[in-house]
Amino acid sequence: MAALPYLQLYPADYLADTAHLNAAQHGAYLLLIMNYWQTGAPLKDSNVRLANVARMSKDEWIETRELLEEFFEIRDGEWIHHRIERDLSEVYAKSKNASTAGKASAEARRIKRLTTVPTNVQRNVNHTDTDTDTDKDQKPLSLEEPNDGIKKSKITYSEIQKAYNETCGHILPKCIAMTDKRKTKVRSMGALDVGGQKPFRDMGIEFWIAYFNDALLDPFKTGTNDRGWKADFDFLTNPNNALKILEKTDGA
């Protein structure tokens, strides 16, 4: 199978759980969980197989096995590691969402390449360059408001909420309610001018799905930072943040 993303290892948790292991046992345990992650499947409960994975002789493995069993659930002839199973589920869910949105993402990228974002892009909403919420200063713009006779894609708030939760909800905090403030922010996204177009209003829900997928490409936004901070629905529906995400993916 294709190589999976990096295995998450939390040093404090790992050391707390394995303080009773010696160096050889640490090495065997790490080799087992790395093999588990790389194959994406539980380990077979075979002493020969497990000894080979752990780089141990059969006798060394027999002496070590009982200590390492406590980190797994042995069921139906398999060694199951619940934390790795959880992390694998998240990776597979992300992959499935990315596949579902692949066609939409490709089309969105094609449009973005044709509409290069100018460095002095005109912002049509009253936001500063910070994340400070200034919804009260914005003039709401309906996503369904006609403009110059151009037929618009009618996108509902619930569709955008669903697109975010299905695309990002397995990694980022879920959006459980579309408040009036969030609806105002969504309308401000619809007013965002990108290279002379307003894609969040005009291109349909597929563009929103592609946008949410683009946001997940930045590990910093998914918690890989020194604060453990993650982006959320409110962050991603801030037009200034959206513009930075679009500019970054255009240049990728």
Here the CATH number for the domain that contains residue 58 is: 1.10.10
* Per-residue confidence (pLDDT) for residue 111, from 0 to 100: 53
Is the same domain home to 174 and 144?
Answer: yes
Query: Where would I find the H helices in the chain?
Result: 11-17, 23-39, 47-53, 58-69, 82-100, 102-114, 157-168, 180-190, 199-202, 205-216, 233-236, 239-250
The 10s digit of each residue's pLDDT in 153-164 is 578 899 999 999
Single out the residue in 87, 111, 139 at which a domain terminates. 87
Single out the residue in 87, 118, 142 at which a domain terminates. 87
What letter represents residue 236's amino acid?
Answer: L
- The two most distant CA atoms of the chain are separated, in Å, by 80
Give the three-state DSSP class for 222. Answer: strand
Q: How many distinct structural domains can be found in the chain?
A: 2
* Per-residue confidence (pLDDT) for residue 252, from 0 to 100: 44
Provide the residue range defining the domain that includes 167: 101-250
Is the same domain home to 57 and 130?
Answer: no
Cut 0.75: pTM above it: no
What's the average model confidence in pLDDT over 119-127? 42
Is the same domain home to 109 and 38?
Answer: no
Q: In what order do the strands lie in the sheet with 43-44?
A: 43-44, 78-80, 73-75
Residue 4, in any domain of the structure: no
Is the same domain home to 124 and 43?
Answer: no
The 10s digit of each residue's pLDDT in 52-88 is 999 999 999 999 999 999 999 999 999 999 888 888 8
119 pLDDT tier (thresholds 50, 70, 90): very low
The 10s digit of each residue's pLDDT in 134-160 is 444 333 344 544 444 434 557 889 999
